[in-house]
Structure 1
Amino acid sequence: MQLTGAQILMECLLEQGVDTVFGYPGGAVLNIYDAIYEYRNKINHIRTAHEQGAAHAADGYARSTGKTGVCIATSGPGATNLVTGIATAYMDSVPMVAITGNVSRDLLGLDSFQEVDITGITMPITKHNYLVKNIEDLADTIRKAFLIAGTGRKGPVLVDIPKDVTAQKYEYTPKTPFPAPRGDFPYAERFEQALEMLRKSEKPFIYSGGGVIAAEAYGELKKFAELLDAPVSSSLMCQGGYDQTDPRYIGMLGMHGTNTAALAIKNCDLLIAVGTRFSDRVLCNANLFAQHCPIIQIEIDTAEFNKNIDVDLKMKGDAKEILAHLNGMLPQRQHKLWMEEIAEWKALYPLVQEATSEEEVMPQEVLETLDRLTNSEAILVTEVGQHQMWTAQFYRFRTPRHFVSSGGLGTMGFGLGAAIGAQVANPDKRVVNIAGDGSFHMNCNELSTAAQYNIPVIELIFNNQVLGMVRQWQKLFYGGRFSQTTLDRTTNYEMLAQAFGIKAFTISRRSEIEPVLKQALALHEPVVINCHINPDVNVLPMVPAGGSVENPILEM
């Protein structure tokens, strides 16, 4: 049947199972938005306050579901406003398709109004991108974009479509989504080598990364840990990839990881890394990381082998498939003394924040109360900073895709848009965005989106009137010279929320924590909670720059 390019785009989105897109209209995407109007009963569209919010919402939708998120923006500034969100998704391997409009083909390259080379701009931060100059290529380009975004090491793909291409007509033929290509799988001798290393080990240590969640390998990881009889640590991106109430779980590893994880990496005789790229926030100092033990790395992306640290055995492929194969070969191991030692460290070094007065509000108590009231089942989204680390430390993530955060890029302003996307994707779950007051000011305009669509996200602001993480570094390493990290903003958060048509609550004393959280959770509408905390509450443990992950700072 003959359809316009814009209609072909809609049909291809439906082919891929897309039910929701996030975006903002403009001149170059007028034809696309006319088609969105036509398809409004088949595809839900959420208009955000800013294109960056649309990219983050598509990201939050993807992270919380495993499906590919979709965002749409017009040419020029609309497209460039997506860039931070695309880069955020790229750094954390999140599947996303960003669709941008551009000026008509006859105006390309002429510095036309709202023209920009968005494919050139985004080349370093996408898995692939396309400029569709011929309508006959449009349908298969969209299909390829989804295939690339959602297979292998996942990530964002951008499709730029000139306005006249969306207006042209062409024959549309429906197709089922392209089948995913079969990925690499290690040779049999690699498995034999791995089994020999696992058999010899008396103190094995499993470190899991975001690839565990991307591959949906959490069941296989749990079985592997039980068969190997080993402790499990995780990266920031793998929160919930292993049940954190399980006795084997010992917390995060890295700059703000637990001391138990630090002692485990210091004393283990084998490190098995699953779905992780060994980022600098984990290694801290690559020259001092796990130098005493062999390392097995299970990873889907060849580029991550020996990039940040040398490993002894590389196993390239899908984490779920590799772990399942290992589980079928691995006999039950027993490491009673090692696991008893781990349990002793956990008892000796719990994560504890000590209040200076009876009514002081401590982030730990706020998050542990939230955990209890939600039965560990809420989706927690975060901005970036101290509150991000506290969330990972103190909320017990029991299942995957319940922690949504910008890890690799560390994007302040990510959380509220991502929370909106996660809530739209999971209407039956409670979604809470944990924010710092610094991050909140970057994208608080998206409160208008939550209010307009009555998206019942809870915006919980840890308000300490400082840029807490940067200030913490200034306190430790810059002689307490707090250059531009004391905010002293006069923002009235309660009045601001009310201006957007949103209810607001305040927590300023410890006794208010549980009553306020209960009230907020009982509502089925967007809520802002202004939670006052002391600016001198720090994130601990902490490994200083250049330090060894095995020797974190435990107190300040």
Structure 2
Amino acid sequence: MTLPSVAADPDATAGAAAVAAAARAGVRTMFTLSGAHVFPLYDAAHRGAAPLRMIDVRHEASAVFAAEAVGKLTRTPGFAVVTAGPGVTNAVSPVTQAHFSGAPVVVFGGRAPELTWGRGALQEMDQAPLFTTITKSSATAHTPDEVGALTAAAFTAASTAHRGPAFVEAGIDVLFAPAGDVGTAVPGPGGRPAPDEESVAEIARLLREARRPIVILGSDVWADGAEQAALDFVTALDLPAIGNGMGRGILPPTHPGCVTRARRAALTQCDVAIVVGAPLDFRIGYGTFGPAGTDTPVIHIADSTDQIATHRTLAASAAGDLGGILRTLCDLVGGPGGWREWRSGLREQADAAGAADAPLLTAGGDLIHPARIYGELLPRLGDDAIVIGDGGDFVSWAGRFVQPARPGRWLDPGPFGCLGAGLGAAIGARAADPDAPIVLLLGDGAAGMSLMDLDTLVRHDLPVVIVVGNNSAWGLEKGPMQLLYGYDILADLAPGTRYDKVASALGGASELVDRPGDIGPALDRALASGTPYLLNVLTDPAAAYPRSTTGL
């Protein structure tokens, strides 16, 4: 193989055009795993006119999960660069997760040379078609002058509602070649048509006539920058509301309208459901609300028309700028309706549910109940803390107990449910926010998929507290299999695996915790350490989460 010539000017190559487009789109960090096919991008990011911080990981999936976290937290696209072949195919699952979550991400992939295409070069495959159904755009730059323009277009696509990932690839010879123009501008997000005024008026009419309304605020409310409008809407109209995904924290847990802990009653007893910025998927019963046997009206408000549900009949819908729609609705409705008693009753149920959790949150005994971990963690979390969930049963408890005080402080895999996303998310979160406490709640099953990237946290000095809920089982599968078959197989892991020793071997700090009373002091040490710190907490395998849905 003849080595390509290296340009004296790192900004003269097509690879530099991709980096320049990323920088103009607001990118400050590139997440990657070293690969020769994309060396020109590294060269430009390292010594070019638009330098980027580069964080290299131990698996390409973690690079994309990190970029997804940046996209979710900052609401500007994250940027991952992966090498050709397996580097690109390793990105498929995290790109799919970003697609399901509506997270703005651009993934740039290396590719076999154009000059020898069709002759069987190393890792020669047409990669862009892999992403056509899970991205906003998927394109191949066949010439040097296309690289900058296609990368800029990818950033525009990723940041235009409905947001999501975009993929660009270019051959190694294309990236090393000179580019005619590396100054391609990055157009801003595409415009959206104004929502239909009659549709918004109909939503206002349905709400005014309601007596038991419920509002569900989803991830797109945060992504669309509509969190203040949503808070004002709920507050001014004295409505009850539930946060979903990144919508958690739009209403702080002390807000009188926050009834997340009364979720079952709210969803099954309402007479109108208003879903804003969330799909009508399995997480909210596929859009079935109200008492059994009733045709409860459902209103769907989305950031783009293609996100409006089509699998069920809607009483009304509107698409467009979510903040503008909510402000218009607030004006049209005018003030609180006849639902104050309903809202107050739901809030009382939510408070009662919280009080009923006290015995679990303080549980003692010889074995650690997973809820006790949250009983110790919650008082130690400030309002600015970022909490990341990566796991099944253990993180289900987090969904129940962790109620963020602010929006944009909660990360989970979303409806795609991809285990192993947590370490990448923690890397991205720390890159996006250098100062906030970050706690990764990691099931022991999920730990097996990505724990090597604790090495990345150590090498790049990215302090994160990792709490492993170690019940030595695939808890999310063990219980359902027992329920279906009367037994379970393939659901047990080795008891007491020393994930803390793995963390120590990788250069992090760690502790094994096997007594309830030791959890709090261990958390104090971890949070004060300023270093990647893993707590391996051995929990009771019999303490399964009492779930009511499996997503099937």
1:193 aligns with 2:202: yes
Residues 1:63 and 2:69 are matched in the alignment: no
**Partner in structure 2 of residue 365 of structure 1:** 372
1:121-136 to 2 correspondences below 5 Å: 121-136=130-145
Letter in 2 for 1:262: R
Partner of 1:120: 129
Q: Aligned letter for 1:449?
A: T
- Name the structure 2 match of 1:551: none
Aligned residues: 538
What pairs with 1:417-428 in structure 2 (closer than 5 Å)?
417-428=424-435
1:151 is matched by which residue type in structure 2?
T
Q: In the alignment, which of 448, 461, 468 is matched to residue 468 of structure 2?
A: 461
How far apart, CA to CA, are the structure 2 residues paired with 1:344 and 1:240?
A: 19
Change (3 A) 1:502 1:230: same
Name the structure 2 match of 1:553: none
Which of residues 525, 545, 548 in structure 2 aligns to 1:542?
548
Tell me the equivalent position of 2:441.
434
Matched, 1:305 2:314: no
Q: Is the 8 A contact 2:390 2:421 kept in 1?
A: yes
Contact 2:249 2:406 in 1 (8 A): yes
Structure 1 runs, 4 residues or longer, greater than 6 Å off: 287-290
| Offset, 1:356 | 7.0
Q: How does 1:60-209 map to 2 (within 5 A)?
A: 60-172=69-181, 174=183, 176-209=185-218
Aligned-pair identity in percent equals 25
Distance 1:131 1:11 in 2: 18
- Does residue 1:398 correspond to 2:402, yes or no? no
Distance in 2, matches of 1:538 and 1:488, equals 18
1:215 to 208, 216, 224: 224
Alignment partner of 2:264: what SS?
Answer: helix
Alpha carbons of structure 1 residues 281 and 289: separation in structure 2 relative to 1, 3 Å: farther
- Cα distance in 2 for residues equivalent to 1:177 and 1:30: 23
Q: Is the CA contact 2:67–2:80 (under 8 Å) kept in the aligned structure 1?
A: yes
CA contact (8 A) 2:85 2:111 kept: yes
Q: 1:113-171: CA deviations, max 9, x gaps?
A: 11222101111211111100122222221111100001111101000011111122133
1:3 CA drift (Å) = 1.8
- Say whether residues 1:519 and 2:528 are aligned partners: no
Structure 2 residue corresponding to 1:276, chosen from 271, 275, 278: 278
Report the counterpart of residue 293 of structure 1 in structure 2.
Answer: 296
Partner deviation per Cα, 1:447-475 (whole Å, 9 max, x = no partner) = 11111112101111000000111112123
The equivalent of 1:495 in structure 2 is 501
Q: Distance in 2 between matches of 1:399 and 1:25?
A: 36
Which is further off, 212-221 or 27-36?
Answer: 27-36
- Match in the other structure for 1:532: 538
Change in Cα spacing, 1:111 to 1:279, as seen in structure 2 (3 Å) is: farther
Supply the distance in 2 between the matched residues of 1:366 and 1:269 (Cα, whole angstroms).
Answer: 37
- Partner residue of 2:344 out of 340, 343, 346: 340
CA positional deviation for 1:4: 1.2
**CA offsets, 1:508-539, max 9 Å, x none?**
11111211111100011100100111112122
TM-score of the two chains, using structure 2 as the length reference: 0.92
State the match for 1:239 in structure 2.
248
What is the distance in 2 between the residues matched to 1:247 and 1:360?
A: 36
2:418 is matched with 411
Contact 1:185 1:322 in 2 (8 A): no
Is the partner of 2:428 in helix, strand or coil? helix
Conserved in 1, the CA contact under 8 Å of 2:273 and 2:296? yes
Distance verdict in 2 for CA 1:180–1:343, change over 3 Å: closer
2:488 paired residue number? 482
Partner residue, 1:554? none
Q: Structure 2 vs 1, CA of residues 319 and 107 (structure 1 numbering), >3 Å: closer, same or farther?
A: same
Q: What is the CA–CA distance in structure 1 between the aligned matches of 2:182 and 2:58, rounded to whole Å?
A: 35
Do the aligned partners of 1:419 and 1:431 also contact (CA within 8 Å) in 2? Answer: yes
Contact 2:444 2:468 in 1 (8 A): yes
* Conserved? CA contact 1:376–1:395, under 8 Å: no
* Bigger Cα displacement from structure 2, 535-544 vs 61-70: 535-544
Name the stretch that deviates more: 222-231 or 237-246: 237-246
In the aligned structure 1, how far is the partner of 2:432 from the partner of 2:417?
23
Partners of 2:32 and 2:81 within 8 A in 1: yes
In structure 2, the partner of 1:265 is 267
Q: For 2:274, give the aligned amino acid.
A: I
Query: CA 1:377 to 1:385, structure 2 compared with 1: closer, same or farther past 3 Å?
Result: same
Question: In structure 2, what is the Cα distance between the partners aligned to 1:484 and 1:356?
Answer: 29
Q: Is 1:509 the counterpart of 2:515 in the alignment? A: yes
CA distance in 1, matches of 2:254, 2:536: 29
Q: What is the DSSP-based 3-state SS (H/G/I as helix, E as strand, rest coil) of the residue aligned with 1:321?
A: helix
Instruction: Give the TM-score, by structure 1 length.
Output: 0.91
How far apart in 2 are the matches of 1:200 and 1:86?
A: 42
Q: Distance in 1 between matches of 2:535 and 2:159?
A: 36
In structure 2, the partner of 1:385 is 392
Amino acid in structure 2 at the alignment position of 1:329: L
- Say if 2:214 and 2:267, in contact at 8 Å, map to a contact too: yes
Is the 1:386–1:539 Cα contact (8 Å) retained in structure 2?
A: yes
| Matched residue, 2:4 | none
Contact 1:208/1:233 (<8 A) preserved:
yes
Runs of at least 5 residues in structure 1 that lack an aligned partner in the other structure: 252-257, 547-556
Check 1:544–1:403 CA distance in 2 against 1; reply closer, same or farther (3 A cut).
closer
Distance 1:287 1:226 in 2: 23
**Which shows bigger deviation, 510-519 or 292-301?**
292-301
Per-residue CA distance 1:179-206 (angstroms, 9 max, x = gap): 3322122222122212211211121111
Give the superposed CA RMSD: 2.3
Residues in 2 aligned to 1:473 and 1:495: alpha-carbon distance in whole angstroms: 31
Residue identity opposite 1:366 in structure 2? I
**Mapped contact 1:506–1:516 kept (Cα < 8 A):** no
Describe the shift of the 1:389–1:306 C-alpha distance in structure 2 as closer, same or farther (beyond 3 A). Answer: same
Amino acid at match of 2:27: V
Give yes or no for the alignment of 1:228 onto 2:237.
yes
Deviation at 1:109, TM superposition (A): 3.6
Partners of 1:32 and 1:66 in 2: CA distance: 23
> Counterparts of 1:332 and 1:517 in 2: how far apart (Å)?
45
- Kept in 2, the 8 Å contact 1:10–1:39? The answer is no
